[in-house]
Chains A and B, each alone.
Chain A
Amino acid sequence: MRDKHNRTGTAYALTTFTAILPGHVDEVRATIEGVPRGADSPLARLTQLHTSRLQIFDKLVYQGAPQKYDELKNAYLVFTAAFDGDVDRFLDDVATTVPEADSWWRHCVAYPGLADHGAFRRWIYHNQLDTSLFGVNSQNVSVSQVKESLAARERVVQFAIAAQGLDATSLQQRFTETFMKEKAGH
Chain B
Amino acid sequence: MNTVVTEQRRTPARAAVPSAGATPVPGNRLGRLFCLTLFTPIRRQWAPVLSAALWIAKWVPFAQKHILQFNFIHFVRWTVVREMPYNGAPQVRDRLNYPYLFFESNFDGPWQHYIDAFAYVIPADIRFVWGRGIAFPGPPPAEPLKAWIAMNSMEGGSYYCAYPEASTRMVASALTVRTALDQLIADSSGMDATDFKARYERFLCDVQGHL
Contact = CB atoms under 8 A, between A and B. Distances in A.
Interface stretch (A44-52, A88-96, A113-121): A44-52
B178 A153 contact: yes
A37 B30 contact: yes
Nearest to A28: B157
A70 B96 contact: yes
Interface string A66-109: 11101011101010101000000000000000000000000011
A133 B92 contact: no
A84 B30 CA distance: 20
Contacts of B173: 153
A130 to B, nearest CB: 7
Contact of A15 (B40, B79, B181): B79
A135 B75 contact: yes
A115 B164 CA distance: 31
Interface of B is mostly: mixed
Contact of A55 (B73, B134, B154, B185): B154
B124 interface: no
Nearest to A126: B85
Interface of A is mostly: mixed
Given A74-B84, A146-B163, A137 B92 contact: no
Interface stretch (B10-18, B98-106, B112-120): B98-106
Contacts of A15: 77, 79, 102, 104
A137 B159 contact: no
B22 interface: no
Given A38-B31, A54-B158, A152 B181 contact: yes
19 contacts: A8-B58, A19-B91, A38-B160, A52-B161, A55-B28, A55-B156, A60-B39, A61-B39, A68-B97, A74-B84, A76-B84, A78-B157, A127-B87, A129-B85, A129-B102, A131-B77, A135-B75, A135-B77, A183-B185
